[in-house]
Structure 1
Amino acid sequence: MKNKRLVIYLSMLYLIAAYSFYNSYKYLKVDVDLIDIAFFIILSIITESLSVGFKKIRISSGFAITVASIILFGGFWTMVIISLGMAFRIYKKPDRYIHVFNTPVYITLFNISNMAISAYSSSIAYNSFIRYSFSNNIFILEFLQIFSFIIVFLTVNSLIMAILMYSLSNNNILQEFVNTFRFGLLNIIAMAPFGYLLAYLYRNYNVAGILILMVPVLLARYTYYLYIEVKTKYLETVKALMHAVEARDKYTEGHSRNVAKIVEDIARELGYSESRVEQLIIASYLHDVGKIGIEDSILNKPGKLTEEEYNLIKSHPEIGYNILKDIKDFGDIPHLVRYHHERYDGKGYPWGKKAEELGKDVFILQLADAVDAMSTDRVYRKAMPWDEIKDELIKNSGTQFHPDIVNTFLKIKSKKA
């Protein structure tokens, strides 16, 4: 690892995790059967191994084991169970299986530390309701305990991941925290009732009770899998369509992919939700789909276009809109495709609409499209160096481009410089 900031962060995390284990063990008062602990470690490994990957995050039903563990065994043993479950999980990537023996030690230690610190912090919140409870109602007490455990666990876990992303790529910590928290909240809330029921059944029916409950838990995992499989195929279809469009024009190969990267950077810097970021990315892939309706002889013409030919080129946003408008659940994507050549001052095409009629998202796509066009060779000119592109953006801020989007993009570039 050459990233000094990352090395410092991981070193601190390992030390905090070691302290968490030590302090939790120091005050250990719960007598447990180690066979029970071993059984729950195996359950944790199984549920984490059956996690489902989407983008950079893996979703699992393992939080049900975490909740059951804190109820049954307390903080220290919960840390042991979920840390070992994370460390020894085995899951499949497209090209290979990932396990502890082919994972770098520092990643394994990070996973253990993340789980240990999250469990330690949330166990403190969980136990605080026993010492300082203001209610004698056992159901209210248990609800408050589990609720506080969930919120603290998710908050600490999200913060650890947000700082990691900042250390790796200088991403905005608050934005990464919010995105991770939102993404994990639904999964954790869905699994928490299973965890409570898991603890109840284990107390009353031992292993048989757990085996019965694992059926719906694994069914939940299968539901995640189906959702992500559909989502992945959907995105692959969009990308395939994008490649089909770009294959007709040798000068714009990779253009949509480049635009999508710029759009994603701007949207994340603005703190957009994952669903909104995803919508903008898909719009980026599809923004030139209307060029399907333009003849190759015009698209690839080496010389200057006639007025008639240029008018045909200018029709591609409307053609793209008509292709996409009737697709169900496509949100604002047809709108973004239709207006990605409009200008902030209302002098763009195809409709000459002004900024207040369009919304800021259109101008994220518009700027990204223009930046990549300036950055690459075209039939009519060579690629422009970054200093010239920057000057063009500043000069045309408030006329062609939305000033806020220009400022955000320049801020991103300065961070990466």
Structure 2
Amino acid sequence: MEKMPLKVKLYTFSVIIIGIITLFAGITHISVDMVPRIIFFSLLGIVAESLIIKISGNIYISMNFAIGLAAMLIFQSPVVSIVAFLSALLWVVKEDGKWVHLLNSSIYKRIFSGSAYALSLTCATIVYHRVGTVYGITESIKFNIIGLLLAISIYTLLDIIIFSMLSAVLENKYFWMFVKENLWLALNVFGLSPLGIIIATAYMNYGWFAVLLFFGPLLIARYSFKLYMDMRHVYFETIKALSSAMEAKDKYTNGHSYRVADYAVGIAEQMGYTHDALDRIKTAAVLHDIGKIGISDSILNKPGHLEDNEYVVIQKHPEIGAKILSEVEFLGDVSKIIKYHHERFDGKGYPEGLKDAEIPMEASILAVADAYDAMTSDRPYRKAMDSHTAMNILVKESGIQFNPIVVKAFRDYLRKHGGEMAHVG
């Protein structure tokens, strides 16, 4: 077992024990005629789990729940735990040119994932098997619609709880914060549910060959989506490289964008933003100064204060940045945040002189994070301020330059995070 804190060991070991008990319960329900079906759906599950697609950070999606749901409808027995456990244990994926499999990755993590999946899917199966009236879908197969909805809900709830609790004990943060972050899993599960029903229907009516015929187009669709995500990743990495190139022009702003991203995400978390919004704000923060790539070095690196005509030029960088990013479809929302991050709450900002609620809240968050890091970093014309002084300026400008809601959230965030930040305001 990898070295980990005691509470993490206790939690993961508890889930594994319950999962293994569930697995043995499934094994006791096996009959000889089930074996070919168990092997078939386990192989499908392994393939589905091996075809994961990375969305961002540690977020991945796969088609595996569709296979699990189909198994639930076909077996209506705890044997689904075997399908779930094997698919989460034996997946194979290629990462950075290297094949990752059971023998060269963390077996403990795989057993934990398999146990969690087996537990959630088995509980869902029990709920489905025990609930209510059966409604006909076709002449040869009937599904319990009420039980199906409840089973999917139970599976989703358990999945979110298990992995939110894992994140909470790993990072020593509030459980409910991770529950909100993981709510997107519900969309993935409910989105795959019709596919699971179709696979079960195809198998019960036409056998395993029909499932394979149906599985082929799904693999093609998955491949197309992966190509899109890969292209999206390449676009984003290219733009980040441009941003880094821009920062390389000015030694005083080196690392600025990533510090601003940390502050902006902290503010947004304090304000209760969901995972998608946090990801959008982080992206905007990393890229917020990309427009400066179109500004002359002599202006960017001027040691003294700017002349009026030079200040007019530097004010163009939010629009330049927004224009660059607007050319990339999936960064459209990000470009709007960047365009307005120099607007002021009193309407005296640029480029459009927006005020109060006219300014997107994400842009107001970025404005506060950007200003704080600028004040606490060395500049050609002054030394860095201490955090206490910078925070006091933000508070003084609350309701004038900055959105008061955002300033309060930032103040609360900094107070929570110890170190030299603990004494601010």
TM class, shorter-chain normalised?
Answer: 0.7 to 0.9
Which residue among 168, 171, 179 is the counterpart of 1:169?
A: 171
CA distance in 2, matches of 1:329, 1:203: 41
Report what 1:406 is aligned to: 407
Establish whether residue 345 from structure 1 lines up as the match of residue 343 from structure 2. no
Establish whether residue 137 from structure 1 lines up as the match of residue 135 from structure 2. yes
CA distance in 1, matches of 2:55, 2:326: 27
Report what 1:152 is aligned to: 154
- Could you tell which deviates more after superposition, 33-42 or 11-20? 11-20
* Paired letter, 2:51: L
Give deviations 1:203-260, integer Å, cap 9, x for gaps: 3443323322221332332233123223212322321231232232222123223322
Report what 2:111 is aligned to: 109
The 3-state SS of whatever aligns with 1:343 is coil
CA distance in 2, matches of 1:310, 1:284: 22
The 3-state SS of whatever aligns with 2:282 is helix
The 3-state SS of whatever aligns with 1:76 is coil
Report what 1:47 is aligned to: 48
Written as runs of structure 1 = structure 2, the 5 A alignment for 1:198-209 is: 198-209=199-210
Compared CA separation, residues 395 and 164, structure 1 to 2 (3 A):
farther
Indicate conservation of the 8 Å contact 1:201/1:210, yes or no: yes
The 3-state SS of whatever aligns with 2:217 is helix
Report what 1:74 is aligned to: 76
CA distance in 2, matches of 1:230, 1:326: 14
Establish whether residue 377 from structure 1 lines up as the match of residue 378 from structure 2. yes
Q: Percent identity?
A: 34
Give deviations 1:234-287, integer Å, cap 9, x for gaps: 322321231232232222123223322332333344333444333323322332
Compared CA separation, residues 98 and 415, structure 1 to 2 (3 A):
farther
Indicate conservation of the 8 Å contact 1:115/1:157, yes or no: yes
Deviation for aligned residue 1:125: 2.0
The 3-state SS of whatever aligns with 2:182 is helix
The 3-state SS of whatever aligns with 1:344 is coil
Compared CA separation, residues 211 and 5, structure 1 to 2 (3 A):
same
User: Please, what is the CA RMSD of the aligned residues?
Assistant: 2.9
* Paired letter, 1:97: W
CA distance in 2, matches of 1:335, 1:175: 27
Indicate conservation of the 8 Å contact 1:32/1:73, yes or no: no
CA distance in 1, matches of 2:129, 2:402: 54
Give deviations 1:17-56, integer Å, cap 9, x for gaps: 2444456667x48774323212222221122112222221
Indicate conservation of the 8 Å contact 2:53/2:61, yes or no: yes
* Paired letter, 2:59: I
The 3-state SS of whatever aligns with 2:400 is coil
Indicate conservation of the 8 Å contact 2:54/2:61, yes or no: yes
Report what 2:248 is aligned to: 247
Deviation for aligned residue 1:325: 5.5
* Paired letter, 1:217: L
Indicate conservation of the 8 Å contact 1:30/1:73, yes or no: no
Report what 1:294 is aligned to: 295
Deviation for aligned residue 1:141: 4.5
Compared CA separation, residues 220 and 128, structure 1 to 2 (3 A):
farther
* Paired letter, 2:127: A
Indicate conservation of the 8 Å contact 1:84/1:112, yes or no: yes
Compared CA separation, residues 253 and 7, structure 1 to 2 (3 A):
same
Report what 2:37 is aligned to: 36
CA distance in 2, matches of 1:191, 1:350: 44
Compared CA separation, residues 199 and 240, structure 1 to 2 (3 A):
same
Report what 1:118 is aligned to: 120
| Structure 2: runs of 5+ lacking an equivalent | 419-425
Establish whether residue 226 from structure 1 lines up as the match of residue 224 from structure 2. no
Indicate conservation of the 8 Å contact 1:75/1:119, yes or no: no
- Could you tell which deviates more after superposition, 266-275 or 90-99? 266-275
Report what 1:197 is aligned to: 198
The 3-state SS of whatever aligns with 1:410 is helix
Report what 2:271 is aligned to: 270
Report what 1:98 is aligned to: 100
CA distance in 1, matches of 2:147, 2:62: 22
* Paired letter, 1:34: V
With the length of structure 1 as denominator, give the TM-score of the two structures.
0.86
CA distance in 1, matches of 2:206, 2:51: 25
CA distance in 2, matches of 1:362, 1:65: 42
* Paired letter, 1:74: Q
CA distance in 2, matches of 1:356, 1:49: 46
Indicate conservation of the 8 Å contact 2:289/2:318, yes or no: yes
Give deviations 1:362-400, integer Å, cap 9, x for gaps: 211101212222343322233344444444434443333
Indicate conservation of the 8 Å contact 2:264/2:282, yes or no: yes
Compared CA separation, residues 195 and 323, structure 1 to 2 (3 A):
closer
| Structure 1: runs of 5+ lacking an equivalent | none
Establish whether residue 64 from structure 1 lines up as the match of residue 66 from structure 2. yes
Larger RCO, structure (CA 8 Å, separation 6 or more): 1
Compared CA separation, residues 270 and 20, structure 1 to 2 (3 A):
farther
Compared CA separation, residues 364 and 102, structure 1 to 2 (3 A):
same
